[in-house]
Amino acid sequence: MSPLKINLLPSPAALPSYGISENGFLPAEQPLTKLPHAYYQSWEELIEELPQLLKAGQWRQRVDELPVLDTSHLESEREWQRAYSMLAVTAQAYIWQGPEPSERLPPSISVSFLATADHLEVHPVATYAALNLWNYRALHDQAAICQPDDLVALHTQTGTEDESWFFIISNAMEARAGPIIKRMLLAMEAVEHDDVPTIIDALEYFTESIVDIGKLLERMDERCRPQFFYHHIRPNLAGSMNMEAAGLPNGVFYDEGNGKGSWRKYRGGSNGQSSLLQCFDAVLGVKHERCNGFHAEMRRYMPGPHARFLDDIEAIANIRSYVDSHQDNAPLLKAYNDAVASLSGFRDKHIQLVTRYIILPSRMGKREEDSGRKNLATSSTQKASDAPQELVGTGGTTLIPFLRTSRDETSEAAVARGTA
């Protein structure tokens, strides 16, 4: 291994420069709950009333009455993040208030939204960063950030516990995953020194953590009803790409006033925009050849520093090739294959969620909306193979084919090398 390559390793000390904290991709400190400068008071007051105004069909009108503010009074990163997050939720509700979607975002949103997105190097749309990473608070002083009971979303469109829980489950998962990142960087350094015990240790920690993260994912059902998600949460998080049929043939016009503006098309909300799973794939050297660029595209919906981190990790990932060339080391091979298998197991749990929260409700119809929880007993036995061949989602993504590929492309690829 060349010394150049060693120098290229992002050491744990470099993590803050990638916007990564002890809490992983969540910020080191909790998101601000209010912008400190009084200049932004009108945004703060309006967003407090979001669910009620949206329900009453008055959100657009109230946003139209807002003054056009600029970003000159934003100082710390946390302020930029809060402004971006508020504007993303504001814009999303504006577009989808109904009965028809709005093809235009007014200058009172566009001007500052575009500026905050530029600053944070992320698309001006309701991304995972806007809705999850920068949109939560702890419920009390002793709160554990990886405990979803202790957290709540700052802003939701429906004002319901279902929507808050839907977001918060991901936040708890992000927090639980935080320490894995540092551990895996140390394992990558250990590869350079042939320090096998450290590599095995890190891989075992990885596996344990993914199992825990999977348990958090399974808690989605506790407070987010599948029918409610399908009919009331998911439609509000839709994007503007491939949305011709929904009434956005050209996407959305971001009106900046004075004759300025641009038509834009973005994908809808998705946890595919979380850096978490992509980071795990990258450190283990797992590739998803058949995903048609989905993961690369999602990277453009992540904050700039997080996307750069994934690029850098991918470029220098060395664990898989090390294990590959040391297949005679049975404990090492086992630790690696277990880690990859844990990711497959996680994706299997995720597919079960897709089945319960999207596929089954789409078949059931709105009529049975209130019986959402009753689906659980039977639906937990559903498999991805029960899903239709193709299902186009609110983000314009074809849902099933790439989700199905996860097992082939992780465990089988890895295990085939040495265990047979």
Ligand X SMILES: N[C@@H](CC(=O)c1ccccc1NC=O)C(=O)O
Question: Cα angle at 210 between 285 and 301, to 5 degrees?
Answer: 65
Q: Which residues contact 49 (CB under 8 A, 6 or more apart)?
A: 62
Question: Cα angle at 212 between 9 and 24, to 5 degrees?
Answer: 35
> Counting Cβ atoms within 10 Å, is residue 158 exposed (0-12), middle (13-18) or buried (19+)?
middle
Q: Smaller CB distance to ligand X: residue 71 or 397?
A: 397
Binding site for ligand HEM (CB under 6 A): 169-170, 173, 217, 220, 229, 270-272, 274, 276-277, 347, 350, 353-354, 357-358, 393, 395, 397, 399, 403, 406
The 352-391 site mask, x for binding ligand X (CB under 6 A), equals: ------x---------------------------------
Nearest residue to the partner ligand X, using Cβ: 393
Contact present, 91 and 109 (Cβ < 8 Å): yes
**Residue 350 among known ligand-binding residues:** yes
User: Which residue among 107, 214, 268, 372 contacts ligand X (CB under 6 A)?
Assistant: 268
Q: Smaller CB distance to ligand HEM: residue 272 or 418?
A: 272
Rounded CA gap, 188 and 203, in Å?
Answer: 11
Please state whether beta strands 136-138 and 151-153 pair in parallel, antiparallel, or not at all (unpaired).
Answer: antiparallel
CB 391 → ligand HEM: shortest distance, Å?
8
Helices (H), 98-160: 107-120, 128
Q: Tell me if residue 328 falls in helix, strand or coil.
A: coil
Stretch that binds ligand X, among 176-184, 255-263, 267-275, 368-376 (CB under 6 A): 267-275
Please state whether beta strands 136-138 and 260-264 pair in parallel, antiparallel, or not at all (unpaired).
Answer: unpaired
Residue 214 in contact with ligand X, rule: CB under 6 A: no
Q: Smaller CB distance to ligand HEM: residue 74 or 307?
A: 307
Torsions phi, psi of 251, nearest 5?
85, -145
Binding partner of residue 169 among ligand X, ligand HEM, none, CB cut-off 5 to 8 Å per kind:
ligand HEM
Residue 394 in contact with ligand X, rule: CB under 6 A: yes
For ligand X, the binding residues (CB under 6 A) are 234, 237, 268-272, 358, 393-395, 397
Which residues line the annotated binding site for heme b? 350
